[in-house]
């Protein structure tokens, strides 16, 4: 009733629940057969979601290419760079001859068409309407060798097609710069009990202990920052979307 077969694993049973903190829970089970491990019985750990008062297994986050959407307003996490207009012939109702032509898809803007306009060095981060732009596309890469916990491994978060990585700063802000494997460039990505996600830096420069409370937080419509996680606030929550 909570989890079915999937991800090449069958026969889940023996449900267990672990409450990590408000809004962050995981479930355990054992699968009778893991097809990637000679059909052996294996331990399964999944995010635990709650829908209409019932527990439901979430999905393991495996990374990939996404745009990152604020639950608060639906805006996209992006680089703070100048907008580059697409070089594309536009058709409109005011030009009847054009309207007689066959329709054709407009290709998405490519990284090589805009990256030359970006400044060198660090670039800050903001939120804005999602418009299929290269500075809004992120590649998320699991880094289990860097560490992990019940909710999953650590991740790199980079602008797609580049080595420019999301980085936490000492003053609790966000920037992007060349990935160098710094602890402040590694992130926890944890699915919450309502199905959204929180994104937390592994470490914040200048703090002795690894981070356990600050997450990416939508302080305003266009201002992402780092602030204490609050499950009751949509400002703390994000979604991962594909075109």
One DSSP character per residue, 99-144 reads: HTSPP-PPPPPPGGGTGGGSPSS-EEEEEE---S-GGG-EEEEEEE
CATH 2.80.10.50 range(s) for the chain read 64-82+114-241
| pLDDT above 80 (res 207) | yes
pLDDT score, position 90: 66
Residue 95 backbone phi and psi in degrees, to 5: -115, 95
How big is the chain, counted in residues? 243
pLDDT tens column, 41-92: 999 999 999 999 999 999 889 999 999 999 998 999 999 999 998 876 666 6
Neighbouring CB atoms inside 10 A of 214's CB total 17
Query: How far is CA 40 from each of CA 35, 36, 62, rounded to the nearest angstrom?
Result: 8, 9, 22
* 179 touches 215 (CB < 8 A): no
Query: Which of 174, 1, 149, 167 lies closest to 80, judged by CA?
Result: 174
Tally of CB atoms within 10 A around 91? 14
What does the pLDDT look like over 165-186, one tens digit per residue? Answer: 999 999 999 999 999 999 999 9
| Residue position matching structure tokens 């400002």 | 235
* Model pLDDT, residue 95: 73
As a whole number of angstroms, the longest Cα–Cα distance in the chain is 67
The pLDDT score that the predictor gives to residue 96 is 73
The hierarchical CATH code for the domain 64-82+114-241 is 2.80.10.50
The SS3 assignment for 156 reads strand
């Amino acid at each position: 009733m909570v989890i079915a077969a999937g991800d090449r694993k069958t026969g889940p049973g023996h449900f267990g629940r672990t409450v990590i903190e408000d809004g962050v829970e995981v479930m355990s089970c054992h699968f009778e057969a893991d097809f990637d491990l000679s059909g052996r019985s294996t331990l399964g750990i999944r995010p635990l979601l709650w829908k209409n008062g019932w527990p439901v297994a979430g999905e393991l986050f495996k990374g990939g290419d996404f745009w990152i959407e604020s639950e608060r307003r639906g805006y996209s996490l992006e680089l703070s760079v100048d907008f580059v207009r697409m070089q594309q012939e536009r058709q409109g109702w005011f030009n009847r001859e054009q309207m007689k032509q066959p329709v054709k898809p407009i290709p998405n803007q490519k990284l090589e068409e805009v990256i030359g306009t970006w400044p060198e060095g660090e670039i800050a981060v903001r939120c804005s309407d999602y418009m299929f732009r290269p500075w809004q596309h992120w590649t998320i890469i699991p880094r289990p060798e860097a560490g992990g916990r019940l909710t999953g491994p650590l991740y790199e978060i980079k602008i797609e097609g580049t080595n420019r990585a999301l980085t936490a700063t000492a003053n609790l802000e966000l920037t992007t710069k060349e990935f160098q494997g710094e602890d402040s460039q590694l992130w926890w990505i944890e699915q919450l009990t309502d199905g959204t996600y929180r994104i937390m830096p592994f470490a914040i420069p200048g703090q002795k202990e690894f981070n356990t409370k600050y997450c990416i937080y939508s302080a305003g419509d266009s201002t992402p920052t780092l602030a204490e996680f609050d499950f009751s606030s949509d400002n703390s929550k994000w979604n991962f979307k594909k075109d």
